Amino acid sequence: MLDFPHDIHTHSAYSDGVGGIGDNVAAAEVRGLRLLGISDHSHYLTGRAFNRYIREVRRWREESGITVLAGIEANITHNGVDVAAGMVEKLDYVIASVHLWLDDPEEYVELVKGALLDESVDIIGHFGASFPHIGYPDEESLRELIELAEASGKAFEISSRYRVPDISFIRECIRRGVKLVFASDAHRPRDVGSVSWSERVFKKAGGTKEDLLFGEFL
Ligand SMILES: [Zn+2]
Ligand SMILES: [Zn+2]
């Protein structure tokens, strides 16, 4: 059992996941989560599909005994974060992630800085997932990034799928009051709530409920 049973990063068949939103909710209930976030990819959710998506998440929120939030996973691009203002107002939160293939870790950091300055963004998704492949940015730029998150009130997810960020980054977030959230990045219902790595590293870094973005729901 988890001490902080939540998962804010799950996909459904509304984007590249399998299974319906209701299947994710059912899986979350079985696993004893108190908070589930649905966060399908923004580029699948255009026009009517977005409105259907929001309606369906809200319906499951009514029917479920646990808190179900409507999120989205937007892309951090060279032209900004791809979520429209009209969408943001209907969402409970926005995750922004780098999905571009970059070969320079400092370029990655610059893109994330842009997202930290974007007022539609709440959470940075799987920060540093590609560092093992493209190399690591220097300590100085990581520190600047966390300072910027502190100043702009943004959170980072702790991704069990990619096992990022590392513990020293998480410790620094906690030290500066930058909020954190657990994320499975499940693409099928049976992976919903697979956040034990997130919780383990969070606790090891000294995290408590006050350090979690959605702690009030737990
Ligand atoms: Zn992603
Ligand atoms: Zn994802």
Q: Which domains does the chain have, with CATH numbers?
A: 6-215 (3.20.20.140)
**Mean pLDDT confidence for 56-73:** 97
Mean pLDDT, to the nearest integer, of 149-161? Answer: 98
CA of 99 from ligand 1 middle (Å) equals 6
| pLDDT tens digits along 137-154 | 999 999 999 999 999 999
On whether the CB atoms of residues 43 and 35 are closer than 8 A, the answer is no
What is the per-residue burial (b if ≥16 Cβ within 10 Å, else e) of 13-30? Answer: ebbebebebebbbbbbbe
DSSP E strand stretches across 46-154: 67-77, 80-81, 93-97, 123-124
Check residue 105 and give its pLDDT.
97
Q: Which residues surround ligand 2, an ion (CB under 5 A)?
A: 73, 185
Are the C-beta atoms of 73 and 45 separated by less than 8 Å?
A: no
The C-alpha R_g of the chain, in whole angstroms, comes to: 16
For ligand 1, the distance from its centroid to the CA atom of residue 159, given in whole angstroms, is 10
Buried b (16+ CB within 10 A) or exposed e, 66-79: bbbbbbbbbbbeee
Q: What percentage of residues in the chain have a pLDDT greater than 90?
A: 99
User: Ligand 2: distance of its center to the CA of 29 in Å?
Assistant: 20
Q: How far away, in angstroms, is 131 Cα from ligand 1 center?
A: 14
Is residue 1 predicted with pLDDT exceeding 90?
A: no
Tell me the pLDDT tens digit for each residue of 80-101.
Answer: 999 999 999 999 999 999 999 9
Give me the count of residues in the chain: 218
